[in-house]
Chains A and B, each alone.
Chain A
Amino acid sequence: MSEVEEMLKRIQGHKGVIGIIVVNSEGIPIRTTLDNSTTVQYAGLIHQLSNKARSVVRDIDPQNDLTFLRIRSKKHEIMVAPDKEYILICIQNPSDN
Chain B
Amino acid sequence: MSASAKGRSKAPSMAGGAPQKSMLRSTFQHTKSSMMVGSTRSQVAGSSSKKSVVLDDGKGGVTQRSKGPNVVVLDDAGNDVTPQPLLAVDPNAPHHTQSKLFGQGGTDSSSVGTPTDFMSQASIYQTGTGTASVFGAPFSRSVMGSVSRISGQSTATDQSFGDEISEAGSHDLAPGLSSVKTRREEVKEVLTEADLDLSVPIRLTESDTIWILDLVGTCVANDSENADGIRARNEKYKELCKNRVGNDRYMERGMQTFNDAPKNKEVQAEKVELIDTGINASEWDMHDTYQDLAAKDKEKSGEADADQDLISRPTSKKADLEETSVEGSMRQGSALSGQSGRESRASLMGSSMQVSQFEIAETPAPPTLPEKDGTVDGVIDDADHPLLKTESLQHDLFVMERVVVQNIFQPKQAAYRGMDELTDVDREVPDEPPPTAGSMSITQMGPNLERLWIYHCELTDGRNVSCLSWNKANPDLIAVGYGQFGFNDQKGGLACCWSLKNPKYPERVYHCASGVVSMDFSYQNPSLLAVGLYDGTVAIYNVRSQEDSPVLDSFENAGKHSAPVWQLKWVERDRGAHGDERGEVLVSVSADGRVVQWSIRKGLEASDLMKLKRTAVKQTGAGKGKEGSKKSEGLIFRFAPGLCFDFSAKDPNIYLAGTEEGHIHKCSCSYNEQYLDSYAGHTGPIYKITWSPFAPDIFLSCSADWSVRLWSHDMTSPAINFFSSTRSVYDVCWSPSSSTVFGCVNEGAVEIWDLSVSTLDPIIVNVPNPGIKLSCISFTLNSDCVLVGASDGQVTVYKLKCMQPTPDNQGGALRDIIQATMASQLQSSGKAGKKKGSGE
Residues of A within 8 A of B (CB): 2-5, 7-8, 10-11, 14-17, 20, 22, 24-32, 36, 39-40, 43-44, 47-48, 50-51, 54-55, 58-59, 62-63, 65, 68, 70, 72, 74, 77, 79, 81-88, 90, 92, 94-95
Contact = CB atoms under 8 A, between A and B. Distances in A.
Nearest to B409: A15
Contact of B340 (A25, A58, A72): A25
A7 B394 contact: yes
Interface stretch (B342-350, B566-574, B608-616): B342-350
Contacts of A55: 282, 284, 334, 343
A44 B284 contact: no
B388 A28 contact: no
A27 B427 CA distance: 32
Contact of A90 (B382, B400, B426): B400
Nearest to B282: A59
A94 B387 CA distance: 28
A30 B389 contact: no
A58 B382 contact: no
B2 to A, nearest CB: 89
B382 A15 contact: no
A79 B399 CA distance: 10
Contact of B347 (A2, A28, A84): A84
Given A40-B376, A83-B392, A95 B387 contact: no
A30 to B, nearest CB: 5
Contacts of A85: 344, 358, 387, 390, 392
A30 B390 contact: no
Contacts of A39: 379
Contact of B397 (A28, A48, A88, A92): A88
A49 B138 CA distance: 84
Contacts of B426: 72, 74, 95
Given A22-B387, A55-B334, A10 B401 contact: yes
Given A14-B504, A22-B387, A22-B388, A29 B380 contact: yes
Given A32-B381, A92-B407, A50 B340 contact: yes
A4 B388 CA distance: 7
Given A31-B383, A44-B376, A79-B403, A25 B362 contact: yes
A83 B373 contact: no
A8 B397 contact: yes
Give the bracket for the number of chain B residues in contact with chain A.
Answer: 35 or more
A40 B369 contact: no
A4 B288 CA distance: 31
Q: DSSP majority for the A interface?
A: mixed
A11 B284 contact: no
Nearest to A88: B396
Given A22-B388, A62-B288, A68 B378 contact: no
Interface in B485-507: 504-505
Contacts of A17: 404
17 contacts: A2-B388, A3-B394, A10-B401, A11-B404, A27-B376, A29-B380, A30-B382, A31-B381, A39-B379, A40-B376, A58-B283, A58-B284, A58-B287, A62-B288, A72-B426, A83-B396, A84-B347
Contacts of A59: 282-284
B405 interface: yes
Given A8-B397, A24-B387, A77-B407, 13 more contacts: A4-B388, A16-B408, A25-B345, A26-B369, A30-B379, A31-B382, A54-B344, A55-B334, A58-B283, A81-B396, A86-B387, A94-B424, A95-B427
B562 interface: no
Nearest to A50: B340
B110 interface: no
Contact of B385 (A14, A31, A83, A87): A31
A86 B404 contact: no
B426 to A, nearest CB: 5
A27 B382 CA distance: 15
Contact of A22 (B372, B393, B404, B424): B393
B521 to A, nearest CB: 25
A22 B350 CA distance: 25
A4 B401 CA distance: 12
Given A51-B334, A55-B284, A88-B400, A65 B347 contact: yes
